[in-house]
Every structure is written in C-alpha cells, then in structure tokens.
Amino acid sequence: MELSSVVQTPFSGNILRDIRMQRGESVAGVSRATGLSVRTIYNFERGRGRARPQTLYLLHDHYEVITSHKLTKFSIVLRQVRKRALETQEQLALATGIPLSCITHYENGRRHPNPNTAYKLFQHYPASMEWLEDAYRSSVIRGPNVIFPTPYARTLRTIRGQIDKTQKQLADDAGLYERTIVNAERGVRISLDSHQKIVHCLFTFSDVLDKAYQDSYG
C-alpha cells in the first residue's frame, strides 16, 4: 500500500480505540508494538490533530485494517468481526448467500448493503449484532428511523399475502390496531400479547410464527 493513499477518516481514531479496547490492549502496548509514542497514539485516538501517513500505516499494519478515505465505520467493523470469527470473505459469502464481490465492496467501502442484506450479516454474527448495527446506522443510514426486516416481519408479511388480507383486515380480526400490524411487518418489536393475538387469528401458521418471533426477539 502506498503511504500517500492512507488518510484520516472521521471515524479512524474512534474506531481504532474501540478495536484496541476490544483486544484488551493498552496504549503503551500498542506503542511498544508499533514504535509510535504513547502521546501520538493518545492524540490520534482522540482526534487531536492530523496523523501523518506513516503513523496511519503503522496502525493499519498493527490492527490489520485499512484506514482509507473510502472506509466507513461499518466497513472497518465488518472486517474486524469477520476476522475475529476466523472466517474468510469466501466463507462469509457462502454462509450468508451474499455474493463474494459484494462482501469485498462492503469491507473496502466501495458499496454498502441495503437493510435486508445488512440484517443477514447481523444474524450471521449474533454476538456482534449490536456493534454491527450501530456501525451501519452511523455510517450508512445516519439515523435511527430505518427498521431492519426481521424473520418475524418477513414471515408475517408472507402469510398475510397468502391469505389475501390487508393489514387493517388482519388487525381487525386479531383485535389489534392497524399500526401494530404495520410495525410488526416493518421489523418493530411487538409485545408477546400482540403476537399471541396474531397467532390465535392465524392458528394454521402458529408454529411458523412462534419460531419467527423467537428467532427475531428471543
């Protein structure tokens, strides 16, 4: 990698500090491993001044992440989570059904997944789901309003289509507000009581709905 191609991103210091803490390393330990001074690392992690290309290159080499102008928090976190799981990009692609070329683009910042695809990645790494979702919201959608389509949302929407009912008709049958069905199909968690009313109304699909609810919300 050319040193001139390594530049600071808005997330670099914060992300590398998170990675250091996840690995249980101290600033002094990183200093010994990279040859950088404690002050340099401390200042970089807190965004005090602009780090020189050589500094970024050494940190990249130590953490095995690429700190480039294209990368976002999600790009870096996804790569870190995959490497911690001891998976290759090929294995991740095979396990999730996401094309290898897309995985590569996600990790180098050239492209970001849509919410449907992002949710597949979250599900594949359940122990890191919150970390990945936070990174996705920070880097891609930049806000709390996008809801990810959970298995329950997809299952309920599919069943409603099969029985040819509108959201309002299903809500009336289950004794719920229409907004509850709308939210459930968007991926917003609904109460167990609301779920049981839906199951009672769609008793033929009770096993499928119960499993989807458990898979989505535990």
Quick check: 194 and 184 in contact, CB under 8 A? yes
CATH architecture classification, 73-141: Orthogonal Bundle (1.10)
Mean pLDDT of 24-38: 86
> Based on the number of CB atoms within 10 Å of its own CB, is 143 exposed (0-12), middle (13-18) or buried (19 or more)?
exposed
Residue 67 is predicted with a pLDDT of 46
Q: Which two tokens stand for residue 87?
A: 């998976």
Residue 144 is predicted with a pLDDT of 47
pTM: 0.47
Record: fold of 151-217: 434 Repressor (Amino-terminal Domain) (1.10.260)
Domain pair 3-63 / 73-141, same fold: yes
Q: What percent of the chain has pLDDT over 70?
A: 80
Q: What percent of the chain has pLDDT over 90?
A: 27
CATH class name, domain 3-63 = mainly alpha
Mean pLDDT of 84-100: 93
Mean pLDDT of 119-128: 84
Q: Which two tokens stand for residue 30?
A: 């990183």
User: Domain limits of the chain?
Assistant: 3-63, 73-141, 151-217
Does 45 have pLDDT greater than 60? yes
Summary mean pLDDT of the chain? 79
CA distances from 218 to 52, 150, 174, 189, 202 (A): 46, 12, 23, 11, 21
Does 26 have pLDDT greater than 80? yes
**Residue carrying structure tokens 């390594």:** 6
Residue-wise pLDDT for 64-90, tens only, equals: 554 444 567 788 889 889 988 999 999
Does 207 have pLDDT greater than 90? yes
